[in-house]
């Protein structure tokens, strides 16, 4: 793979040859593929030896791998809220996981689906929602024309014993019977959506729940990994393999429809893999940390993008990017310029990936994650500026459900990606400046613990604004 510097050099050569890449003269389709609790190490392009992911890897081979790609939170629901709005979810109080009975995403927030529908796309959502279960928070009310999946935090992958279907799955608002392995069903629904809409611009958010718990795999996939001795890791590997095959079906359908050069495709995980008492079999090596904290293992994720004929194939982009960038990038691909009044925190990555801009997309990135409301809150925060990261987080002790230790460090990630060495005594002024910058950002946010769900009133549905 080529580095960011090599990408710029290759683009310069094409300019000299008279074939410089020009902005596409037709807006693109957009497909966002999201995995759930997938470990940083658990893709082939990050060096996985025991879990092959050839289809996911092909996105990097045909496009760009972000070596410093981040989620905006180390937990499922707030991470999704950030991705879906292009804004730090802390700005609107989405601080932690919500469940089907909670308020979830505030009605006034405009979503990815809203924006892409306004850009003339037919919009589809497939998979795990986890953004609230009230009527106004159903995907059909948040910008999506077609939906298939479940609203809550997790789902069985197979029909429970004694039941004939996986529970709580709907098409739109209507219950559906699903007897197949759920990851396969989601892949099948995605290919059907693409097939139906191949002759019109579309946006598809395919949010797999794999490989999130419960750790359940079909025997067909378990048989592929008989060499893995740890039963949890073996089942996890089988789940990731099923995910990879489903991704392959989606990519094959896009190719078969002749849409590869007209489709921007993202793949990323919603957060790092869990470890300790909540381990699902994931590995975040060579990073330290896990889901639930803001060390690199909790927030740096597999993060890939492909747009054949537009983005340089087989390249690695090294500057930090974040899931908030997907929305403005997708809007640009759809021919829409983000407006300042939308107050997006993400940026359009296309000029950076194409070499038209050589500065980093972000001067600084922020994280704040308050797990559980006060007085039981575990305050996690971090700031990254260039290679420097100041982190203050709580880390679960191995094998312990309710035992934690505090971690507070200044890290140079260029030389210490495992975050072992605290340099705050060596660089006290830098640590002080980063803390002050984070505090200034924190002051812009809703106070911790005031979750979106708590702020909704019983009559909130009546206050839902007109969507774009």
Interval 399-452: pLDDT, tens: 555 666 788 899 999 999 999 999 999 999 999 999 999 999 999 998 765 555
What pLDDT is attached to residue 29? 98
Q: Residue 129: is its pLDDT beyond 80?
A: yes
User: At residue 120, does pLDDT exceed 90?
Assistant: yes
- pLDDT of the residue at 243: 98
> Binning pLDDT at 50, 70 and 90, where does residue 144 land?
very high
Task: Return the pLDDT at 405.
Answer: 74
Cβ atoms of 32 and 266 closer than 8 Å: yes
Beta carbons of 334 and 121 less than 8 angstroms apart: yes
For 136: left if phi > 0, alpha if psi spans -120 to 50, otherwise beta; the answer is alpha
For the four alpha carbons of 104, 110, 111 and 114, in that order, the dihedral sign comes to positive
CA distance linking residue 112 with residue 299, whole number of Å = 21
pLDDT of amino acid 65: 98
Check residue 373 and give its pLDDT.
52
Residue 175, C-beta contacts closer than 8 angstroms, at least 6 positions apart: 169
The β-bridge partners of 54 are: none
Confidence of residue 86 (pLDDT cuts 50, 70, 90): very high
Categorize the per-residue pLDDT at 66 as very low, low, confident or very high, splitting at 50, 70 and 90.
very high
> 372: pLDDT confidence band, cut at 50, 70 and 90?
low
Task: Give per-residue pLDDT as tens, 380-395.
Answer: 999 999 999 999 987 7
- Of all residues in the chain, the percent with pLDDT exceeding 70 is 85
Asked whether 333 and 350 are in contact (CB, 8 A), the reply is yes
Ordered by start, the domain boundaries in the chain are 4-17+27-353, 365-455
- Residue 59 and residue 306 in contact, taking contact as beta carbons nearer than 8 Å: yes
Query: pLDDT tens, 319-346?
Result: 999 999 999 999 999 999 999 999 999 9
pLDDT exceeds cutoff 80 at 316: yes
Q: How far apart are CA 271 and CA 212, in angstroms?
A: 11
Nearest to 191 by CA among 101, 257, 243, 139: 257
Q: Is 418 exposed, middle or buried (0-12, 13-18, 19+ CB in 10 A)?
A: middle
Q: What are the residue numbers of the active site? A: 76, 130
Dihedral of CA 71/254/155/221: which sign?
A: negative
Mean pLDDT of 108-125: 97
> In this structure, what token pair is assigned to residue 187?
């892949």
Of 278, 283, 256, 311, nearest in space to 395 by CA: 278
Check: CB of residue 277 under 8 Å from CB of residue 401: yes
Topology of domain 4-17+27-353, per CATH?
Answer: Alkaline Phosphatase, subunit A (3.40.720)
The pLDDT of residue 99 is above 70 = no
Report residue 57's pLDDT band, with 50, 70 and 90 as the boundaries: very high
Give the CA dihedral 353, 68, 232, 420, nearest 10 degrees. 170
Give per-residue burial for 188-197: e unless 16+ CB within 10 Å, then b: bbbbebbeeb
CATH (one of 3.40.50.300, 3.30.1120.10, 3.40.50.970, 3.40.720.10) for 365-455: 3.30.1120.10
Q: Residue 203, Cβ neighbours under 10 Å: how many?
A: 29
Average pLDDT over residues 167-187: 97
Record the tokens describing residue 302, joined without a space: 């597999």
To the nearest whole number, what is the mean pLDDT of the chain?
A: 89
> What is the pLDDT at residue 277?
78
Q: Do 4-17+27-353 and 365-455 fold alike per CATH?
A: no
């Amino acid at each position: 793979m080529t580095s960011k510097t090599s990408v710029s050099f290759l683009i310069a050569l094409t300019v000299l040859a008279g074939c410089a890449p020009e902005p596409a003269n037709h807006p693109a389709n957009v497909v966002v593929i999201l995995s759930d609790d997938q470990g940083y190490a658990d893709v082939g392009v990050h060096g996985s030896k025991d879990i092959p992911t050839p289809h996911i890897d092909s996105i990097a081979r045909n496009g760009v791998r972000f070596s410093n790609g981040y989620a905006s939170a180390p937990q499922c629901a707030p991470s999704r809220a950030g991705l879906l709005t292009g804004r730090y979810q802390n700005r609107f109080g989405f601080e932690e996981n919500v469940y089907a009975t909670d308020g979830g995403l505030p009605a006034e927030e405009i979503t990815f689906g809203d924006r892409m529908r306004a850009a003339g796309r037919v919009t589809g959502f497939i998979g795990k929602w986890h953004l609230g279960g009230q009527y106004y928070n159903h995907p059909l009310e948040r910008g999506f024309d077609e939906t298939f999946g479940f609203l809550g935090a997790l789902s069985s992958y197979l029909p429970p014993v004694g039941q004939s279907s996986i529970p709580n799955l709907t098409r739109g608002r209507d219950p559906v019977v699903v007897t197949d392995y759920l990851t396969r069903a989601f892949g099948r629904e995605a290919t059907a959506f693409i097939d139906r809409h191949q002759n019109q611009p579309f946006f598809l958010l395919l949010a797999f729940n794999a490989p999130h718990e419960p750790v359940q795999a079909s025997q067909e996939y378990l048989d592929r990994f008989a060499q893995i001795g740890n039963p949890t890791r073996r089942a996890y590997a089988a789940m990731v393999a099923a995910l990879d095959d489903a991704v392959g079906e989606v990519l094959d359908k896009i190719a078969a429809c002749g849409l590869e050069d007209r489709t921007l495709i993202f793949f990323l995980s919603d957060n790092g893999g869990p470890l300790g008492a909540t381990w699902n079999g994931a590995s975040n090596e060579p990073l330290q940390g896990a889901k639930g904290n803001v060390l690199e293992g909790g927030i740096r994720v597999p993060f890939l993008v492909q747009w054949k004929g537009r983005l340089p194939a087989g390249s690695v982009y090294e500057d930090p990017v974040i899931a908030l960038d997907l929305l403005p990038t997708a809007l640009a691909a759809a021919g829409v310029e983000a407006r300042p009044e939308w107050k997006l925190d993400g940026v359009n990555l296309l000029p950076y990936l194409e070499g038209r801009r050589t500065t980093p997309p972000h001067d600084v990135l922020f994280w704040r994650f308050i797990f559980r409301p006060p007085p039981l809150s575990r305050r996690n925060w971090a700031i990254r500026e260039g290679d420097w990261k100041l982190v203050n987080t709580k880390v679960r002790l191995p094998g312990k459900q309710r035992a934690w230790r505090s971690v507070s460090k200044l890290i140079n990630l260029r030389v210490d990606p495992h975050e072992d060495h605290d340099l705050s005594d060596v660089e006290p002024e830098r640590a002080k400046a980063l803390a002050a910058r984070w505090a200034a950002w924190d002051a812009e946010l809703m106070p911790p613990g005031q979750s979106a769900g708590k702020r909704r009133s019983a009559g909130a549905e009546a206050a839902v604004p007109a969507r774009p």
